[in-house]
């Protein structure tokens, strides 16, 4: 027999509010009723879900697992209610998409334009963020699909399905008036002491660049502007003598600052792809997004997989 969702909701409330009294008030039930609900859950599992102390209650490892699933369940139920409400208004469905900055700027607009031209009355929420910010949202059910770089060194959690879309090689970005703009290929050692613009922590992109410097036996640049704004990266490189490392995706669709991409010897190629929860059945609108991403990857100036 499956677990009682009400008991999971009670445990989630305790983890969020830190005490039985505050959780009971938030749930609109008495504290004894809340305690009995948790007691039934622990007897059902034959394991404690909370460590009770003078300063409140904290989750046990078993409780941590249950709360993670309770968060997903809560998000799924909220989405179901929202989809029903939208269906009554004639809207086809709701879709929540997470995407990394380069995908939002260069690839996703093409996908959205094609999807919206073929589908009427839809509602799509797009959340831009770094990989480390988007993944918890997907795992917790706050996002349906992520379109972002796939981690090649660290595999995705078993609960997630991945599908690669296209290769996205990295190159050295230089300004249009830079002496390096006339070079066909550059070694990292040649520009190691140059002023740089590089991404901040929290993304597979940053980890790839760190690995590139490490593999070359080089330290992280001392003269460096750190930013996750792709527009700022392009403008600084174009208007100064700073260099950066950009992907083909950043320059394939538009390049308003005319940044030059020079082949960087030994630079890795990242993979852009999609992720979703294995246990989640994708809605018809989500499947349309998946198919549109595949079609755009095949037809665009990319290296489809």
Distance of alpha carbon 44 from alpha carbon 117, whole angstroms: 51
Would the pTM of this model clear 0.75, i.e. be above it? Answer: no
Instruction: Please write the tens of the pLDDT for every residue from 213-264.
Output: 999 999 999 999 999 888 888 899 989 889 999 888 877 655 666 888 899 9
* pLDDT range class, residue 143, cuts 50, 70, 90: very high
Q: Label each residue of 29-94 as H, E or C.
A: CCHHHHHHHHHHHHHHHCCCCEEEECCEEEECHHHHHHHHHHHHHHHHHHHHHHHHHHHHCCCCCE
Residue 91 has pLDDT above 60, yes or no: no
Rounded alpha-carbon distances, angstroms, from residue 112 to 10, 101, 126, 180, 184 = 39, 15, 10, 36, 35
Residue 98 has pLDDT above 90, yes or no: yes
Distance of alpha carbon 198 from alpha carbon 219, whole angstroms: 13
CB 284 within 8 A of CB 87: no
Instruction: Please write the tens of the pLDDT for every residue from 4-28.
Output: 888 888 888 888 888 788 888 888 8
Rounded alpha-carbon distances, angstroms, from residue 100 to 14, 40, 66, 167 = 33, 43, 29, 15
Residue 155 has pLDDT above 80, yes or no: no
Q: Which domains does the chain have, with CATH numbers?
A: 5-73 (1.10.10.10), 77-166+271-304 (3.40.190.10), 167-270 (3.40.190.290)
């Amino acid at each position: 027999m499956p677990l009682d969702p009400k008991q999971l909701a009670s445990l989630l409330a305790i983890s969020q509010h830190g005490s039985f009294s505050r959780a009971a008030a938030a749930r609109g039930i008495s504290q004894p009723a809340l305690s009995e609900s948790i007691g039934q859950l622990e007897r059902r599992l034959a394991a404690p879900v909370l460590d009770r102390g003078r300063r409140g209650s904290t989750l046990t490892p078993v409780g941590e697992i249950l709360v993670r699933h309770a968060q997903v369940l809560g998000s799924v139920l909220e989405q179901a209610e929202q989809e029903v409400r939208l269906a009554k208004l004639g809207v086809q469905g709701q879709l929540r998409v997470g995407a990394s900055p380069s995908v939002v700027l260069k690839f996703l607009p093409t996908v959205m334009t094609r999807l919206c031209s073929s589908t009427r009355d839809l509602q799509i929420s797009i959340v831009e963020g770094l990989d480390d910010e988007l993944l918890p949202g997907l795992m917790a059910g706050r996002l349906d699909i992520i379109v972002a770089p796939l981690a090649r060194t660290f595999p995705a959690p078993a609960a997630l399905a991945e599908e690669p879309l296209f290769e996205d090689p990295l190159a050295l970005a230089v300004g249009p008036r830079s002496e390096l703009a006339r070079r066909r290929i550059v070694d990292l050692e040649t520009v190691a002491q140059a002023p740089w613009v590089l991404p901040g922590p929290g993304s597979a992109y940053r980890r790839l660049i760190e690995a590139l410097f490490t593999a070359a036996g080089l330290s992280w640049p001392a003269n460096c502007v750190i930013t996750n704004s792709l527009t700022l990266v392009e403008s600084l490189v174009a208007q100064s003598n700073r260099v950066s490392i950009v992907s083909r995706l950043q320059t394939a669709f538009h390049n308003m600052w005319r940044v030059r991409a020079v082949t960087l010897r030994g630079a890795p190629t990242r993979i852009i792809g999609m992720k979703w929860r294995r246990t989640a059945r994708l809605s018809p609108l989500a499947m349309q997004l998946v198919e549109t991403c595949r079609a755009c990857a095949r037809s665009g100036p990319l290296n489809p997989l």
